[in-house]
Structure formats: C-alpha cells, structure tokens
Amino acid sequence: MDSITPAASSQKEALTRRYGASGLPAMGPWNEVIATMLDHRSVRGYRPDPVPAGTLETMVAAAQSAATSSNMQWTTVIAVSDPEKKKVLAEIAGNQKHIEQCPLYLCWVADMTRNSVISTEQKVEFETMPWLETFLVACIDVALAAQNAVVAAESLGLSTVYIGAMRNDPERVAALLELPKQSFVVFGLCVGYAADKAQGEVKPRLPQSIVVHHDRYDTRDTAAERKTYDGEMAGFATRNEMQAPTWTERVLTRLGPIKSMNGREKMRAALRALGFEAR
Ligand SMILES: Cc1cc2nc3c(=O)[nH]c(=O)nc-3n(C[C@H](O)[C@H](O)[C@H](O)COP(=O)(O)O)c2cc1C
C-alpha cells in the first residue's frame, strides 16, 4: 500500500517547487500556513479588480501582530491610491508598471517621527535616536511587519511584490508622500489579484545544505552545489523569460556594477537630508 498521504505528497511537491528535486530537504512538520509560505512568488502584473473591503485592515492587523523590537512599533503604512502619485512612484522605481496597475499600493515607513513626538511632549531628550542602531532596528521592524502582511495577503489568494526601488530616490518619495523628518519609506508593496499568466512559478532557492550551518560558520567550498542550483535557476529563467540565465549570473549583474544601485549609492546623503544622522 502507498504510505504517502495526500498531505505528504503536496508537501513534497511544494518543497520540490521551492528547491528543485536536487535540493530537496528532509520532510518535517507541515501545515497550511507553511504551505502558503512555500507557495510565495512575486507577481508583477495585476488585474484591475479591487481587493475585498477590509483587506488593508486585515493586512495591517497581521503586520502589527509581528514582533517589534522593545514594542517601539516603528512602522507606519501609507496606502497610496492617487493615480498621479502612483505614476510618480512607478517612475522613481524605474517604470515598474505594476505600481500603477495594482489596486492596493502600500509604502512601508520606518517612522521615527511618531516616537520623537513623545520626546518633545515630555521634554526628554532621546539620546538613542541619532544612532545607526536605532535606524536599523526601525527598518528591521518594518520588514517583519510587512512580511506578516504579505503572508496574510497571500493566504487570502492575493499576490504581492515588494518594491525596494522606492529607495532609488528616498527624498523624492518622502516629498511626494509628505513625510515628516525622521521618516523613511523602506520599500513599497503591490497587492492585488495576479493578471492572467502573471502568477508565474515558485522561484527556486539555494539548497539548505548551503544555507544552514551548525555551531559555526562553515567555509567549505559549495561551488558544486551552487552549480546544481544554477541549473535549477537556468530552467526557471528559460521558462519565465528572465534576463539572467543563472543565479551566479544574477549575482554578478546585481552586485558587480555600481549602476545596478540605481541611485541608492547616495543613501547616506539621502538619509541625512531626511533627518537620520545614523551615526
Ligand atoms: C526588500 C525587497 C525589495 C524588492 N524590490 C523589488 C522591486 O523593486 N521590483 C521587483 O520587481 N521585485 C522586487 N523584489 C522582489 C524580488 O525580486 C523577489 O522577491 C526575488 O526575485 C525572489 O522571487 P520571489 O519573490 O518570486 O520568490 C523585492 C524583494 C524584496 C524582499
């Protein structure tokens, strides 16, 4: 008798989609939440249909349920629906049309303004504010919150894509959204229903044999495993008409030339202008 239950076979399918047959990890505990997470893919084409009423509120409730460092709650979300503003944001992001297309566009703000108000109100200097550590903590908080919102949206059958390209010109984004000093859009997020054929495939990830180390950082040569992963990504790239044929090639083009930063190399100056000393 076949001992593989339907749940186990769908788990194996999900893991195979995520890692390819060659990188399949051991099958551990499993449930619907994990299945949703493993089925994630970024979507760059949206139907015009609006998201159901209350979706923003549900996503934000999920976001606010994430852990937040010392309960400082550094996250603010700006839902942008003004088509003119979306157009400008799409342009800043290098003409990413999905920003204009998607019915819900969220800008995730590392908001150090809100807590600074308490400093003024209570006449207590916040000595911790100008430090890089505090800025980093705020950005980490934002990322954790947004990812909870993404999981919530995907569990509802919606699709998403993060837009880090908001950081191509943080000052212009801040001006457009009228951010006060000491607030910064860490990234945007498109939310909506995937257009026909835009759903795409699950993008394979590096095998766990490369990613998981035990008790110490392992510096062993993983070139052969990477090559196998490159093979998985090459198949994915062909099927999905991606420019970079392999992951190694993608790393080379993304991390090699400074022009791939699309203006983000000026981040330190931009942050200063936005009121972050980050010393
Ligand atoms: C912080 C962050 C910023 C991103 N910015 C962009 C972006 O500006 N445009 C885009 O098309 N995808 C963006 N992505 C999506 C990644 O390209 C995508 O997650 C990655 O290629 C893996 O594909 P997958 O999400 O489909 O698994 C971003 C992802 C993250 C986490």
Whose alpha carbon is nearest atom 3 of ligand 1?
Answer: 164
Q: Which tokens go with 177?
A: 């959204």
CA of 186, closest atom in ligand 1: 1
Mutate to test the pocket of ligand 1, among 91, 161, 190 (most ligand atoms within 8 A of CB): 161
pTM: predicted TM-score of the whole model, two decimal places: 0.96
Does ligand 1 have an atom closer than 6 angstroms to the CB of 138? no
Does ligand 1 have an atom closer than 6 angstroms to the CB of 137? no
Q: Which tokens go with 19?
A: 């890692």
pLDDT digits (tens, 9 = 90+) for 157-169: 999 999 999 999 9
Whose alpha carbon is nearest atom 30 of ligand 1?
Answer: 162
Q: Which tokens go with 173?
A: 């984004």
How far is Cα 63 from Cα 57, in angstroms, rounded to an integer? 10
For residue 186, report the distance from its CA to the centre of ligand 1, in Å: 13
Q: At a CB cut-off of 8 Å and minimum separation 6, what does 160 contact? A: 42, 43, 150, 153, 154, 189, 190, 191
Please give the average pLDDT of every successive group of 10 residues along the chain, which has 279 residues.
63 96 94 97 98 98 98 98 98 98 98 96 97 98 98 98 98 98 98 95 97 98 97 94 90 97 96 96
CA of 41, closest atom in ligand 1: 26
For residue 9, report the distance from its CA to the centre of ligand 1, in Å: 29
pLDDT digits (tens, 9 = 90+) for 198-238: 999 999 999 999 999 999 999 999 999 999 999 999 999 99
